[in-house]
């Protein structure tokens, strides 16, 4: 079953009937017409029990002897079915901030992760009657979905291929949002947005993984330097040959060696003047 609109009319009509019934009932009692006066006063209080106030961005779920009657979403003063029970539920947008969860990523490394989930109730029937406590349900399912999504990706991709938690936060958040919507649909909740708010290696491996990241950065920088150095050496030899200077293979090898050492080395090169011969 889904949410449906409850029967209701303008509550000021009920308020007017209540005042009229009370006034007539009191007048009858004063005139010592006891039974009709008491009946009218009882009817007046029955009218009073049917009046309900709905605040903006709030819904009133109406049940009648255990049966779902409907939901009033429009704010204002309303007159509803007598002897019915109303339960208020907020339709406002709310945030759920998860605690920091310790999860193993796809490579088995323990990471700390947390997220914020922005949601609102869109089906009051499901929120109240399909789950025991929809707010607690949102909390548990959000943390479960976060664990599931985090376990599908590595914290970081050192080979640069595929998604990672650190490098693809938007894609991971989109997948988390999609999975949460599927999980929370049964509770009549719409997930408007979900974002990662915390991501870090667990303390027991943080130092080791930092060293790994630093080593990967150094290797990547060295690779870029070597690729650039090789290109510069090729350009230098090509330019010399274009100017008419022919070098044999041994001189080319010596020149390549010297240029690569000078360019790739992380220290200033000290030139050495060769007064002899290569042969």
C-alpha–C-alpha distance, residues 84 and 93, integer Å: 28
Question: What pLDDT is recorded for position 44?
Answer: 78
In CATH, what is the architecture of 94-201?
2-Layer Sandwich (3.30)
The pLDDT, as a whole number, for residue 209 is 60
Domain ranges of the chain: 9-89, 94-201, 215-264
Instruction: Report in angstroms the alpha-carbon separations of 164 from 111, 153, 172, 209, 215.
Output: 12, 5, 8, 15, 18
What is the reported pLDDT for 201? 82
| C-alpha span between 202 and 198 (Å, rounded) | 12
> What are 130-177's pLDDT values in tens digits?
999 999 999 999 999 999 999 999 888 766 677 888 888 889 999 999
Confirm whether pTM is higher than 0.75. Answer: no
Q: What is the mean pLDDT of each run of 10 residues along the chain (279 residues)?
A: 84 80 81 80 80 91 91 89 89 93 87 93 94 94 93 79 83 93 94 91 68 66 75 78 73 72 64 54
Q: Which residues pair with 144 in a beta bridge?
A: none
pLDDT recorded at residue 140: 94
Structure tokens at 263: 């360019």
Give pLDDT, residue 107.
83
**Which two tokens mark 14?**
């009920």
Structure tokens, 35:
């039974």
pLDDT at 266: 62
């Amino acid at each position: 079953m889904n949410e449906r609109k409850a029967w209701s009319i303008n509550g000021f009509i009920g308020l007017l009937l209540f005042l009229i019934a009370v006034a007539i009932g009191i007048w009858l009692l004063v005139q010592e017409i006891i039974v009709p006066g008491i009946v009218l006063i009882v009817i007046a209080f029955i009218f009073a029990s049917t009046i309900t106030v709905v605040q903006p961005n709030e819904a009133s779920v109406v049940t009648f002897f255990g049966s779902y009657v409907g939901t009033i979403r429009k704010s204002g003063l309303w007159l509803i079915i007598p002897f019915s029970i109303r339960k208020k539920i907020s339709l406002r947008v709310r945030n759920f901030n998860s605690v920091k969860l310790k999860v193993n990523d796809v490579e088995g490394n323990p990471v700390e992760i947390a997220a914020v989930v922005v949601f609102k109730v869109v089906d009051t029937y499901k929120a109240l009657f399909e789950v025991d406590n929809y707010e607690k349900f949102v909390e548990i399912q959000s943390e479960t979905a976060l664990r599931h999504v985090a376990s599908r990706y590595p914290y970081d991709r050192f080979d640069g291929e595929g998604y990672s938690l650190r490098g693809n936060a938007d894609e991971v958040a989109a997948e988390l949002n999609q999975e949460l919507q599927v999980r929370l649909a049964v509770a009549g909740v719409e997930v408007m947005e979900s974002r990662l708010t915390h991501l870090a290696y667990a303390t027991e491996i943080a130092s080791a993984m930092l060293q790994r990241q630093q080593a990967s950065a150094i290797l990547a920088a060295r690779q870029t330097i070597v690729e650039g150095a090789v290109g510069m050496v090729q350009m230098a030899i090509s330019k010399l040959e274009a100017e008419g200077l022919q070098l044999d293979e041994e001189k080319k090898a010596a020149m390549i060696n010297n240029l690569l050492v000078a360019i790739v080395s992380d220290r200033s090169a000290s030139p050495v003047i060769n007064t002899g011969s290569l042969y």
